[in-house]
Structure 1
Amino acid sequence: MKKKIGLWDLVFMNVSALFGIRWIAKSTATSFGLGLGAIPAWVVFTFIFFVPAALICAELAATYKSDGGLYEWVKEAYGEKWGFMVSWLNWTAKIFWYSSFLAFFTINMSYTIGKPELASNKMFVLIVSLVLFWVLSFISTRGMGFAKVFTSVGALGSTVPAVLLIVMGFVSVFVFKNEPASTYTVSTLMPKLNMDSLCAISGVMFGLAGAETTANFVTEMDNAEKNFPKAILIAAALVSGLYVVGSVAVTMILPTDQITASEGILVALSTVASTLGIGPWFIKIVAFGISVSVLGAIILYIASPIKMLFGSVRKGIFPQKLTKVNDANIPVNAVIFQAVLVSITLLATNLLPSVDTIYNVLVTMTALTALFPYVILFASYIKLRKTRLNEVRPYQISKNNSKAISIAYMVLTITIAGIVLSAAPVMSTFKENLIYETQMIGGGVLVIVIGLMIWNNFVKRTGFKEGCEEIKKIS
C-alpha cells in the first residue's frame, strides 16, 4: 500500500517550494523594493494571495485527479486551447527565471572566489551566464540523475543562510548592542506609494507563488479535508515568518538604501560577520552553498518544464523535431531551442545600465510572466464552480459556493493588479524606461501572441475542433 503523506511532510514540501532567500533583499531594497514596508507586505500577501491560491489548487487537484496539473484544470473549464496556453505561459516564464537565476549564481560565485567586484561587471556576468547555461543544457540532455546530487544538498541553500542572517543580525544588535541600521515605527513600516514599491508587489507575490506544485498531493493525505488546509496555514506561517524576520534582520544590518537586490544578502552577511569578528572565509562558504543550490535548481528545471509542456498538450502542436526525445527521454532540440531563447534574453537585458538593474528587470519579468497562468487558473476555478454545481469535490475551500467564488474573485483581482503594477515605469531616465517598458510589456504581449499563433496554426493544419477527437492527418 502506498505510504500516505503526513501533515509535516506537506508543510516542509511547501516551505522548500516557496521560500527563496533572494526575495528578502529584493523586497527590502529601496531601489526596486518596498524598503521596511516589505515586512508587513509579506504577511499581508501570504494571507490574501498564497493561502487562497493554495486552497484553490488543492480543491482542483482533489476534484480532477491527474498529473497534468494546471493544464488539466484549465482544460476542464475552457478546453484544450487554454489548457495549452497555461502550459505555454508556465514554460515561457521559466525563460526569464533561468536568466535571473543565472545572474544570481554568477554574483554568488564572484563572492565564493573572493572577487566580489566581479559581481558588478556586466560582461563577466553575461559571459559566465551564457557559458554556464549552455553547459548545463548539455548536461540536462543526459538525464536528471546528476541534478539530484545538487538538489539534495541545495535544499538547504536558502534556509540555512536565511537562518544565519537572522541569528547573526539579532546577536549583533541584542547581544553585542550594535546600533541597528533602521528604525521600526508604524510610519517607517508603511510601504511608500511610489512606482518602485508598487512594482515590487509583483515580486512579493512571485516569492509566494508555487501553490500548484504541492496541490496534487492532497489525494495522498489522510483526512485531507482537515490536514491539507492545516498544512498550508502552517507553511504560510513559516514562510511568512522567514521572510518577515529575515527582512528585519537584513534591515538591522544595512539601511534599505544600501541594500541591492542582487548582492544584498551577501553584503549583509559580510557586514555582520565582520562586526562579529568572523573572517572572510565565512562569506565564501555561504556564497558557495547558495551557488550549489542555484546550480541544482537550474539543472533540474532546464528540462522538466519542457517535458511538461510537450508531454501534456496534444501531439502535433509543436514540430516533431522539437518533441523527439533521446534515450534519456529528454527533447534535445527543445532544450537547444530554449538555450537560444535564454541567450537572447541575456543579451537583450545586457543593454541595461548595471548588473543590479539587469537582475531586477529579469526578476520582475519573471514575476510578470509567472503570474499570467494564475489569471487563467483562477478564472477556470470560478467557471467550474459556477457551471458544475453537482461536481463531487472531495476537498472544498468552502461548501458555500458563493463564498468560494468570492474568494477566487479576490485572488484573481489581486493577481491582475500584480501584473499591471509590475509594469510600472521605475527607471531614472526616459531612455531607460523605454527599454524597460518595451521588455516588460512587449515581452509579455509577445509571449501571449506567439502562444495563440502556435495554437491557431495547429488548428488550421489539422482541422482540430474542441470536443472532437479526430483530426486530419498532418501532411
Structure 2
Amino acid sequence: MEKKKIGLWSLVFMNVSAMFGIRWIAKSTASSFGLGLGAIPMWVLFTFIFFVPGALICAELASTYQRDGGLYEWVKEAYGEKYGFLVSWLNWTAKIFWYTSFLTFLCVNVSYTIGNPALADNKIFVFVTSIIVFWVLSYIATKGMSFAKIFTNAGALGSTIPAAFLIGLSFLAVFVLGKHESASTYTVATLTPQMNMDSFVAISAVMFGLAGAETTANFITEIDKPEKNFPKAIIISAVIIAVLYVLGSVAITMVLPPEELTASKGVLDALAAVSVSLGIPSWFVQIVAFGIAFSVLGAIILYIASPIKMLFGSVKEGIFSKKFTELNEHNIPVKAVTLQAIIVSVILCITTFLPSVDAIYNVLVTMTALTALFPYVLLFAAYIRLRKDRPNEVRPYVISKNTNTCIAVARLVLVVTIVGIVLSAAPVMPTLAENIVYELQMIGGAVLVIASGIIIWNRFEKKQKASNVK
C-alpha cells in the first residue's frame, strides 16, 4: 500500500508550525530585550525585505530540485559537496541551541496550563520537563513526517488560535467595548526603534522569528505534487504568519506596556490582563497556554527531524560513522536522533546554572539568532549562482521570468542576512569586561562551530585521498 502523501493544507500547517512562533511577539516587543513599540514597523519591514523574498527563493529551489535534503541539495548544486555539508552542519548546530530555548518557552506554558505560573521560574521544573519532553518527541520524530504531521498540524492551530485570541480580545477590549485603556500610544516617535545595541540584537531576533521557510523542503519526496503545492503552501503561510506577527505585536502592546512584558511570559500575561478586563474566567488562559504548549511540541518534532535528516541522512557517505547515517524505514537516521537528544540534554544541564529562567531563555535565543542566520548566507549565494550559471534550467515555479530580477531579489535578501548577523553580535552588556566575555561567547562560539565543520570535512577528504592511493 502506497504511503499517503502530504497535501497542500497539511503542508501549510507544517510551514506555519515551523515558521510562526507566538513567543516572538512578546520577545520582540519587550523593552527589556526587544524593540518595544518599534517592533511593529520592524515586523512589517523584514516581512518584505527578508521573509517573503527568502520564502519565494525556497519555493523556487524546492520545485526545481525535488529531492529530500533542502538546504543541502540546493547549496550542493551550486558549490559542491563540501559546502552542502557545511550548510547542513551550520543548520543543525544552530538548532541544537534553538531546542533548549524553545523547551524553556514550552515549560512556561505548561506551568500556566496547570494553574501554577510560579513553576515557570523554577529551574528544576524547567530542566526535568525539558529533558522528558525532548526524548519523547525525538522518539516520535523517528516515525517520519507522514506520521508526525498529526502533531505539526495540531501544533499550527495551537499557535495561531492563541494569537488570534490575543488579537481579537485586545481589539475588542480596547476599541470596541472600551473595557481596557490602551497601554501604549502609537505615534511616529514611539514606533521608531531606538538605535542602540539592544535594538540591533533584537532586530536579528525578528529575522530569526521569520526564518524557516526551507524546513519542510527536507521532506519534498513525501509531498503530493511538490512543484505546485510547495510554492502555494509557502505563499499562503507567509501571508498568515506576517499578519499574525504584525497584529499580534499591536495587540500585546495595547494590553501591557513594553516595560511590563517579558520574553517568555508576555503573551500569557497579556491574555490574563485582557481576560480580567472582559470578565473572562482564569481557566481561559490555562486553555490557551495548553494550546501554545501543544504548538511548541509540533514545531520541535519538525525541527528534530528536519536538520538531522539533512545532515546525517543526506550528506556524502563516510563523513560520519555509518551507524549515525543509517536510515530506518521512515528515512530518519535514528541513532543520530539519539545522539542529538544526548547533546541537548547536556546543554540543558549546563544552562540550568544560569540565574533565572528568563535569563536562560534570552541567552539561548540570542545565541541561536547569531548561528541560525549563517546557513541563509550560503542559501542565497547558491541561488544567485544557480540563476547565473543555469539560466535555462527547467523551473516549475519562478519568482520572476526575468533572471536579473531574481538575482536582484536574492542579493537584497543576502545583504539583509549579513547585516542581521552583524547586528546579532552587537555588544549589549553594561561594562567593557562583560562585553568582552559576551563577544567571546557569541563570536567565538560561531567561529568554533564553523571551524569544527571545516575540520570534519577536511578529515573526510584526507580519508578519501588515502583510500584512493591504496
Does structure 1 residue 154 correspond to structure 2 residue 155?
yes
**Aligned pair partner of 1:453 in 439, 455, 463:** 455
The letter for the 1-side match of 2:58 is C
Range with greater deviation from structure 2 (114-123 or 201-210): 114-123
Distance 2:275 2:62 in 1: 45
Decide whether aligned partners of structure 1 residues 388 and 150 sit closer, same or farther in structure 2, where only a CA change above 3 A counts: closer
- 1:299 and 1:13 map into 2 onto residues whose CA distance is 10
1:140 to 1:77, Cα distance in 2 relative to 1, 3 A: closer
Deviation at 1:374, TM superposition (A): 0.7
Query: Compared with structure 1, are the counterparts of its residues 14 and 307 closer, same or farther at alpha carbon in structure 2 (3 Å cutoff)?
Result: closer
Q: Render the CA deviation track for 1:102-159: whole Å, top value 9, x for unaligned.
A: 1011111111122211212333323332343244445555777874553342221110
Determine which of 341, 355, 358 is the counterpart of 1:356: 358
The residue type equivalent to 1:294 in the other structure is V
- The aligned amino acid for 1:391 is E
Specify every segment of 5 or more residues in structure 2 that has no aligned partner in the other structure, as ranges: none
Separation in structure 1 between the aligned mates of residue 415 and residue 342 of structure 2, nearest angstrom: 35
State the alpha-carbon separation in 1 of the partners of residues 400 and 343 from structure 2.
42
Structure 1 length-normalised TM: 0.88
Matched, 1:115 2:116: yes
1:166 alignment partner in structure 2: 167
- My pick for the range that moved more, 99-108 or 341-350, is 341-350
- Counterpart CA distance in 2 for 1:424 and 1:64 is 37
- Answer yes or no: is 1:296 the counterpart of 2:298: yes
Q: Is the 8 A contact 2:312 2:336 kept in 1?
A: no
* Cα distance change, pair 130–443 in 1 and its aligned pair in 2 (3 A): farther
Q: 1:13 to 1:322 in 2, by over 3 A?
A: closer
SS at match of 1:20: coil
Corresponding residue number in structure 1 for 2:349: 347
Q: 1:54: how far off?
A: 1.9
Q: CA deviation at 1:15?
A: 4.0
Shift in CA distance, 153/391, structure 1 to aligned 2, threshold 3 Å: closer
Question: How many angstroms apart in 1 are the aligned matches of 2:392 and 2:367?
Answer: 40
Q: Is the 8 A contact 1:118 1:124 kept in 2?
A: yes
| Counterpart for residue 468 of structure 1 | none
Structure 1 residue 390 displacement after superposition: 3.8
| Equivalent runs, 1:209-224 vs 2, <5 Å | 209-213=211-215, 220=226
Q: Is the 8 A contact 1:134 1:339 kept in 2?
A: yes
The yes-or-no answer on 1:180 pairing with 2:182 is yes
Q: Determine whether 1:27 maps to 2:28.
A: yes
> SS where residue 282 of structure 1 aligns?
helix
Kept after mapping to 1: 8 A contact 2:167/2:247: yes
Asked if 2 retains the 8 angstrom alpha-carbon contact of 1:382 and 1:409, the reply is yes
Q: Which residue of 2 is the match for residue 368 of structure 1?
A: 370
Give distance in 1, aligned partners of 2:304 and 2:399: 34
Distance (Å, rounded) in 2 between the aligned partners of 1:262 and 1:156:
20
Report the Cα distance in structure 1 between the residues aligned to 2:308 and 2:389, rounded to whole angstroms.
32
Distance, in Å, in 1 between the alignment partners of 2:181 and 2:309 is 52
Tell me which moved more, 449-458 or 233-242: 233-242
Alignment of 1:273-422 (within 5 A): 273-325=275-327, 330-422=332-424
1:467 is matched with none
Matches of 1:362 and 1:9 in 2, distance apart? Answer: 30
Contact 1:108–1:291, Cα closer than 8 Å, also in 2:
yes
CA distance in 2, matches of 1:396, 1:72: 18
Contact 1:104 1:262 in 2 (8 A): yes
**Contact map agreement 1:61 1:218 (CA 8 A) in 2:** no
Note closer, same or farther for the CA distance 1:327–1:237 as it changes in structure 2 (3 Å cut). closer
Q: Is the 8 A contact 2:56 2:235 kept in 1?
A: no
What is the match of residue 236 of structure 1?
Answer: 238
Is the CA contact 2:28–2:202 (under 8 Å) kept in the aligned structure 1? yes
Which letter maps to 2:186? Answer: Y
- Describe the shift of the 1:369–1:141 C-alpha distance in structure 2 as closer, same or farther (beyond 3 A): same
Q: Structure 1: how far apart are the matches of 2:421 and 2:264? A: 22
Aligned counterparts of 2:133 and 2:62: Cα–Cα separation in 1:
36
Match of 1:195 among 191, 197, 212: 197
**Could you say if the C-alpha distance between residues 9 and 293 of structure 1 is closer, same or farther in structure 2, counting changes exceeding 3 Å?**
closer
1:234-268 deviations in Å (ceiling 9; x for gaps): 54343222111111110011000111110100111
Output one character per residue of 1:49-87: Cα deviation in whole Å (capped at 9) or x when no partner. 112112222332333332232111111111000011111
Structure-2 separation of matches of 1:143 and 1:10: 14
Instruction: Note closer, same or farther for the CA distance 1:235–1:329 as it changes in structure 2 (3 Å cut).
Output: closer
Where do residues 236-275 of structure 1 align in structure 2 (5 Å cutoff)? Answer: 236-275=238-277
- TM-score under structure 2 length normalisation: 0.89
What's the secondary structure of 2:41's corresponding residue? helix
CA contact (8 A) 1:62 1:218 kept: no
Partner of 2:90: 89
Q: Secondary structure at the match of 1:155?
A: helix
Equivalent position amino acid for 2:323 in 1: K
Distance in 2, matches of 1:113 and 1:26, equals 23
Question: Is contact 1:62-1:219 (8 Å) kept?
Answer: no
State the 1:455 CA deviation.
0.8
Maintained 8 Å contact 1:195/1:424:
yes
Aligned-pair CA distance for 1:298: 2.5
- Cα distance change of structure 1 residues 438 and 342 upon mapping to structure 2, 3 Å threshold: farther
| Cα-to-partner distance string for 1:447-473 (whole Å, 9 max, x where unaligned) | 111111111111111129xxxxxx649
Alignment correspondent of 1:124: 125
Name the aligned partner's letter for residue 185 of structure 1: T
**CA distance in structure 2 between the aligned counterparts of 1:73 and 1:59, rounded to whole angstroms:** 10
Q: Secondary structure at the match of 1:211?
A: coil
Matched, 1:41 2:42: yes
Cα gap change, 1:297 to 1:407, in 2 (>3 Å)? closer
Instruction: Name the count of aligned residue pairs.
Output: 463
Opposite residue 54 of structure 2, the aligned amino acid is A
